[in-house]
Structures are given as C-alpha cells and as structure tokens.
A and B are shown apart, each in its own frame.
Chain A
C-alpha cells in the first residue's frame, strides 16, 4: 500500500512489536495521530497568531499554555519547543561557547552534543566512564581539574546525559551538577531518554538546562524537542533580537535569535501537545515499563552464553546485550550468516534489531504491553532453541 508516489505506507508498529532502541518512546499516541490529521498543513498553528507574533504567545490552539505547562512539569522557569533535542544543544552551545573554549562532555555523550560544541568552536573534553560504564561525580571533578591545568580555566559548559544512548545506564546528574557548580560551570541535562519517560525535576537536580526529545521520548512527531531553563539562564539563551536593517530600519520585535524566530509551526508541535497529557501520566508508571523489560531480559539471560552489558538490575528500558557467546556462535555456520537472527525475529513479528547484528546489540521494550513483553521473551527463547542453543529454565514462561 502506498501513501504517495513511490512512498510505501509504513506499517511497522501495526504488524510488529518494534523494539528499535531509538523508536520506542517516540511512538505516537492516538491523540497525536489525530492532531496530525487536523494540523498537517504547514503553518497550521498560525491562524490565530497575533502581536507580539511569536509561537509561544499563541493561545488558540493553547500553545502559550503548553509552554508554561512543560516548564512547570520539568520544574524549570521557561521552555521553548525545539526541532529536536540537538537544536537545544545547539542553542545553548551557541550562547555560552566561543572559539577555543573547553566544554565538558562524557565518554558516553551523543554525537550531536559534540557537533554543537564543534559548531561553536569549542574544544570537547570527555569525562571518562568507570569500569561499569557509569559517569561519576568524582571523575567529573578529576576531569575539571585536568581541564583547568590544560586551559588555565574551567570548562564553560557541561553536557551530561542522565541516561546514555549506548548502555541505557543511569548517571547521577545531581551529584555531577553539584561538582560542576563549584566551578561555576552551567549544566545541560540531556534528557533525550528521560524527559517523557520518567519523572524529571530540573531544579531538584540543580541543572541550568533541561533538554528533551519529542520524537525520541515524548510520543511526538520528528523533529521535536524541548529546551527548558531557569529564569536567570532564560535571559541569556532566550534573549531577543537587537538587530536592525540599515536601509529599512526594520527590527524584529521579540523574536529570539537562538530559536531562529518561531520553532515548531505545525503538526510536530500539535502532536507534542496532544500527547502531553498522556506523557505526563506515563512517567508516573515507569516501574511497569521496567517490569516488562525484565521479562525480556530474564529470557535473554536464560540463554547460555548471553550477557548483559548495561548495568543490572536495569534502571531503564534501553538495554545493550552481548550475544557473542550465543546467537553469534550460530551465525558462524548459519547459511544466512548473522542475518538469520533478525530474520528469525522478523518472522515471529518482531522488528527493530539491526539486520546482521549478532554480537553486540541494543533494544528497548518501552511501551510494550505485558503480553507483548511475554511474547518477546518467548520469541527470543524459541529462536535460541530452534538454533541449538541451550536455554535454562525460565520462571516467567
């Protein structure tokens, strides 16, 4: 079935249980899908845009109220919706980082944080992860001292991911922020895997910026995200334009240069807004998500030779596995080589594992029902058994 010339209608989430690690938290709610149907046209949210002509002032649909609600929900003072978390990193880096400035990242930082630093001319310095792939406050303090010795000044900004994209491990941002603030380093909390997934309280962690991803974790269309901050930092990162044309003498009101004026102007924003009540509710029930994830992980660990590379017990549903000693052994002699694994899962109605991956791979069970989690568990075990791998007794089945 096609939805346009040469464009197949995507039915992945209708036909499969999709455990793609980056897609799980961004699946739309029913209300978001309905909002997209109504607001798909380009400038659809601008029908009632009145002076001062800025997106976050529009009251119909209730965009102004939504901005306030999101800021309050994250326990920050102000928020702007962004075309993706990365644009939030970019706005903050562009405000605080100048050529040659050292910037603190971590050994588990997302590449877009590096790109934001690069674009501003900054020099990245990574806090190393410990032997358990955790970023600690102690290693942060050590790294800041190293940077001070190298640059004769502390870093101008720190990007910290409370849950990293590689292992889905949880890092103590509050403790890291406490250390960084002793050196007056502003902290950007990269909540791409937390905002919209579990409760986030910016002021309680004493961070300067909270960035979230709509399409990764807030059940919203891409590209969407949020940048929230304190009243003090808002004056800097959300500063208004001061430029004037020399011929026309035009000025541009209260547009914000870091936002490039208005940000999300149609289906992306209204999709976020429509999902928001559901997202606010679902973060209160993250324990259910962990319980469903545990069903699948227990099943995987019952297969001889299978290891978990993420911290265990799990604190997040994004998990990194090592099946070098199990599924990869089968790949050595299987006629489909490594592709047999994703192929077998596909035949069982499961998608989201990178085709060909049998050594190290990631998955995310976020948003599955308990029944689907049990189905996933059985499918992994069945795939192992069908290929001659030994499976230990599993209490969950």
Chain B
C-alpha cells in the first residue's frame, strides 16, 4: 500500500473534522449562512476527491 493511500486517509479524516467543527459552530439548528454553505461545499468537494484517490490507491 502506498504512502499516498495513508495520506488520503488522514486528509479525508481531517476534512470530516472540519465539517464536524461547522456542525458545532452552528448547533443546534445547523442553519448555514451563505459563507458557511460555501465552505461546506468546498470541504465536501475535497472529501469526494480524497475518497476518489483513496479508491484508486487501495483498490488498484
């Protein structure tokens, strides 16, 4: 297994951690203002990319 796969596991976990923090900052309603929504979109895009790379690395 490659170092890249390990990096992707950490990066994806960190991205999820950033999403977790947004859930904390916006509790209990989790209503997202426009800037937060944009931040969440960016994080989810990153997460998809990271999971995609992980699939490539671990299932090749």
Contacts and interface: CB of A to CB of B under 8 A. Distances in A.
B3 interface: no
A15 B13 contact: no
Nearest to A32: B17
Given A30-B18, A30-B21, A33-B20, A16 B28 contact: yes
A231 interface: no
A372 B31 CA distance: 11
B29 A375 contact: yes
Contacts of B14: 34, 37
A348 B27 CA distance: 11
Chain A at the B interface: SS class: helix
Interface in A1-28: 13-17, 27
Interface residues of B, number: 13
Nearest to B23: A14
A13 B17 contact: no
Interface residues of A, number: 18
A175 interface: no
Contact of B17 (A27, A30, A369): A30
B20 A349 contact: no
Interface string B17-48: 11011011101110000000000000000000
Q: Which of A13, A27, A350 has the most B CB atoms < 10 Å from its CB?
A: A13
A38 interface: yes
B27 A15 contact: yes
A14 B17 contact: no
User: Among B13, B25, B28, which residue has the most Cβ atoms of chain A within 10 A?
Assistant: B28
Contacts of B24: 13-14, 27
A27 B24 CA distance: 10
Interface string A329-369: 00000000000000000001110000000000000000001
A16 B24 CA distance: 8
Given A349-B28, A372-B27, A14 B10 contact: no
Contacts of A34: 13-14, 17
Contacts of B13: 34, 37
A179 B28 CA distance: 48
B25 A33 contact: no
Contacts of B20: 14, 30, 33
Contacts of A29: 21
A37 B10 contact: yes
Nearest to A12: B27
Nearest to A11: B23
Contacts of B29: 349, 375
A314 B34 CA distance: 33
Contacts of A349: 27-29
Contacts of B21: 29-30, 33
B52 to A, nearest CB: 21
A350 B28 CA distance: 8
5 contacts: A15-B28, A16-B28, A30-B18, A348-B28, A349-B28
Given A14-B24, A17-B28, 9 more contacts: A13-B27, A14-B27, A15-B28, A17-B27, A34-B14, A37-B13, A350-B28, A375-B28, A375-B29
Interface of A: 13-17, 27, 29-30, 33-34, 37-38, 348-350, 369, 372, 375
For the complex of A and B, 5 pairs with smallest distance between CB atoms: A349-B28, A14-B23, A30-B21, A33-B17, A34-B14
